[in-house]
Chains A and B, each alone.
Chain A
Amino acid sequence: MDHPRDEGATRPSLLLQLRDHSDVEAWTTFTLLYAPLVYGYCRKRGLQDADAADITQEVLRQVSRSIRSFDYDPRKGRFRDWLRMVTRRKVSRFLAGQAGAELSIEWVSPDEIAEGPADAEWADDFNARVLQVALEQIRPRFEGITWRAFERTWVAGADARQVALEVGMPIDHVYTARSRVLKHLRAQILLLAGNLPHLM
């Protein structure tokens, strides 16, 4: 029973679910989660809407292939970073091709995109997206009153005493509500992204 814990291997994360070709639902969740992220990244790199959309499609297709063929190995690094790398490469390749055809080479250099402050921004966007989706997904698991208590104390940072009055629940319940929702949120994020900012 007491096997050593292997975090990446045992977790039934979204990424692992994606390896099953037929898991349409996992794939939909995945797209919903990451398409806007990749798209936004492309636009920030100065791509036009149509090109950004094309690249988003391409990146997602690539991710799908890679995950299924085990190109992406959770033990080698965070999914977040890997996704960024795939996206960055696609964008660089696109810009290089376009530059060759129409623009002067100085307009943008792939190296410029590769490193630098963009990374922190990517991480923020990534986290924000995952958090948003996770919140939406766990919300139906809770009573309206529980959720309100959580939202008021944790998201809005309201004082627990005041929240207790507002939603009409004893103050100790406000804390347990908050604690319970956060546990679900944490678990859901692990499920979606396979990692938390500092976990891996």
Chain B
Amino acid sequence: MTVPVKPLLTVEDLRVTFPTRTGDVQAVRGVSFALGRERLGIVGESGSGKSQTGRAIMGLTPGHARISARKLAFGDRDLLTMPARERRDLRGKKVAMILQDPKYSLNPVMTIGRQIVETLKTHEKISTSAAKARALAMLEAVQISDPERVFSLYPHEVSGGMGQRAMIAMMLVCGPELLIADEPTSALDVTVQLEVLDILDKLVADRGMGLIFISHDLRLVSSFCDRVIVMYAGRIVEELPAANLADAQHPYTRGLLNCLPTIGSDRHPLPVLDRKPEWAL
């Protein structure tokens, strides 16, 4: 993968702080990276700040939280100073996000088709019939064999895997340049996970999007992405090409790799992570 001249997304010293009764909690503490048209994985355990990083880029941080950064730019456009209106135009059109569980992130009282059409009509001047045709084509692109039927179904009427495909369709229908996928397959069955990842992989490659893949599953991320960022306690502890995962230096990354039970390895007891306080400094 060649490094593009101008990165798609630049993040420098991103901080997300939540004020609480007992003082400020820093969920993200100085995260910096640049993303080209590549697949970047962000890995960490719960509370490591990986999701808040994705949400800050998307502009979905809760209102009471404070965001600060030296630079947070999408192409040339500064996301920090951008008015909310422009940010809304960007969101869904240029930057899109796939969430973990289709059960909770699709609108339960709107058919899948209408939700996709709504996305299109928000961002483009398009007739209803043209929007419907685009939505159907998109449902077909995520390998839904009977798009007409799924178009008129409500989210509760489809399986998890089908719901996640519908969400991918909804997010990609406007042709975003950057896609943030926050645990896109964690709520799915293992056998369905691979199908959904396969669809996502092909679409990202065909459309030349930048992808940020957020997950707690280090192995999955490394098999899917070009580059992996490992986060711990709100900071990046290690960044490495996915292919060189075995050469990870940081004890946290190595510990994460090590503590997974695998078929054929007979390790009793499993090695556990010995958390050092200096990792969180």
Partners in one complex: no
Q: Which of A's residues lie within 8 Å of B, judged by CB?
A: none
Q: Which of B's residues lie within 8 Å of A, judged by CB?
A: none
